[in-house]
Amino acid sequence: MKLEGRVRLPGFLLALRFLALVLWSFPGARALDNGLAMTPTMGWLHWERFMCNVDCQEEPDSCISEKLFMQMAELMESDGWKDVGYEYLCIDDCWMAPKRDSEGRLQADPKRFPRGIRRLADYVHSKGLKLGIYADVGNKTCAGFPGSFGHYDIDAKTFADWGVDLLKFDGCYCDSVEHLEKGYKRMSLALNRTGRSIVYSCEWPLYMWPFRKPNYTEIRQYCNHWRNFEDVYDSWQSVKSILAWTSSNQKRIVDVAGPGGWNDPDMLVIGNFGLSWDQQVTQMALWAIMAAPLLMSNDLRHISPQAKALLQDKDVIAINQDPLGKQGYRLRKEDNIEVWERPLSDLAWAVAMVNLQEMGGPRFHTISIASLGQGLACIPDCMITQLLPEKRKLGFYQWTSDLKTKINPTGTVLLRLAAT
C-alpha cells in the first residue's frame, strides 16, 4: 500500500505535527554539567575481547599492554573508525601495577606499559583520538588491582595529569551501599575539580540493584553513562538478556536518558566469534534504538569486512547519535516479534522489528503505520528507508497504510521514517 503522490496537509494534521514537535522536544532530567557526551560515547574498550590477559610472554599480541592500544589507535585512525565517530580508545581492568607508588599514586604495570600512561595518551591524542582508563570505587578492582577507595582526589588528579579523557569507574569491593553511592559521587566531583574534560562512565546502578532501586535522576547528575545490567558476553544469549532487561525496565530508565547522560547496555561484540550475522545486525540496530554508547570490544586487526561495514554504517550511527537524544523503547511484543521505536530529530522515527523465534525460517510481519510513534510517526505520509539488514528505499507510505517486512530468526529489520 505504497502512496504514489503527496497529499495536502489538513489543519488538524498540522496541529498534530506541532504537538509531536512539542512532545518530543521536552528536555529530560538534569545531566552531569561537564558538557560531555551530548550524544552517546563512541569508541573501543578492551574488556570483552581481551579481558585480563597479562601474559605478554606467551601471548604478546593479545595481552593488556601499551602495544595493544597503540595498534588499535593506529587502526582507528587508518581504517575509517575515527571518521565515522569512534573516538575514545579505552583501557579496562588489569592495566595497573599491583601497588601504588611511593606517593600513593596509581601506576601502570611497568613491564606491560613501559612508557607509562602519559606517553600512551600523547600517542593516542596524536592520532586525533581520546584515551579512556579504568578504576574502581571500592578497595580493589574486579580483577584485584588497587581500588580507588580513599584515593578519589589523587586518582582523579593523576588521570587528569596523564591526559586521560574518560574514566570507567567500576563498583567491585565496596563495603556498603553508602560507600558505593558516596564513592561514585565523590569521584564525579573530584574529576570536575581537575578542570580536565573527562567523560565519567559509571556502573553505579548495576551494583545498586541487589540492595535497592537506583535513583536514576540522581545518577544522571553525576555520571555521563551508567551500566544497569550484567556484563555482555560474546553470545546471543547475552545480547538477548540485555534487551529483555532493558524492555522490562524501560518505564524506569528510558526517560532519564538524554544529552549528557545515557543508559549503557555494555559493549558491542560485533566482529568476534559468538554472534551470527543476523544477531550482529540485531545488536547494532538495537544499540542505535537504545541510544547506547557504542564501545566496540573486538580485534580491529582481524575483523571481517562485513562486520566492519556494519559497525561503520553511517545511517545506523546517525540514529544512535541523533541530536534529539531520546532513547527508544519496546513498543510491543507479539508472537515472538518485538517492535521497538525511537523518536528522532526533524520528526523522524527509527523502528526496529526483531524476530525472536529461534525456529523456522524468515517470518513476515505486517505493521500498521498508524500504530507507530503514538500515531504521530507518519502524518500524513512519510518516506521509509530500510537501513538494516541492508539499505533499501521503500518509498512513500501513508498514515493509513501497512508495511510488510521479512525478518530472519534472531535478526532485525531497522527502518527510518522521515517526515515529508
Which is it for the CA torsion 63, 67, 71, 77, positive or negative?
positive
- Of 63-71, 137-145, 179-187, 308-316, the segment contacting ligand GLA by CB under 6 A is 137-145
The minimum distance between CB 189 and ligand GLA, in angstroms, equals 22
Peptide linkage before 98 cis (omega within 30 of 0): no
Which one of residues 79, 153, 231, 315 is an interface residue with ligand GLA (CB under 6 A)? Answer: 231
CB 66 within 8 A of CB 133: no
Q: Which CB sits closer to ligand GLA, 109 or 338?
A: 109
Among candidate residues 170, 234, 322, 381, the one labeled active-site is 170
Measured from the Cβ of residue 307, the count of other Cβ atoms closer than 10 Å reads: 19
Q: Parallel, antiparallel, or unpaired: how do β-strands 166-170 and 199-202 relate? A: parallel
| Residue (of 143, 212, 228, 136) closest to 178 by Cα position | 212
CB 416 within 8 A of CB 383: no
- The binding track of 175-214 with respect to ligand GLA, each residue x by CB under 6 A or -, is ----------------------------x-----------
Residue 142 as a binder of ligand GLA (CB under 6 A): the answer is: yes
Which one of residues 165, 170, 338, 341 is an interface residue with ligand GLA (CB under 6 A)? Answer: 170
170 catalytically annotated: yes
| Residue (of 149, 214, 223) closest to 191 by Cα position | 223
Which is it for the CA torsion 53, 56, 60, 64, positive or negative?
positive
- The binding track of 31-60 with respect to ligand GLA, each residue x by CB under 6 A or -, is ----------------x-------------
- Of 141-149, 276-284, 386-394, 396-404, the segment contacting ligand GLA by CB under 6 A is 141-149
CB 295 within 8 A of CB 42: yes
Measured from the Cβ of residue 98, the count of other Cβ atoms closer than 10 Å reads: 9
Residue 143 as a binder of ligand GLA (CB under 6 A): the answer is: yes
136 catalytically annotated: no
The minimum distance between CB 144 and ligand GLA, in angstroms, equals 9
Contacts with ligand GLA by CB under 6 A lie at 47, 92-93, 141-143, 170, 203, 231
Residues labelled catalytic: 170, 231
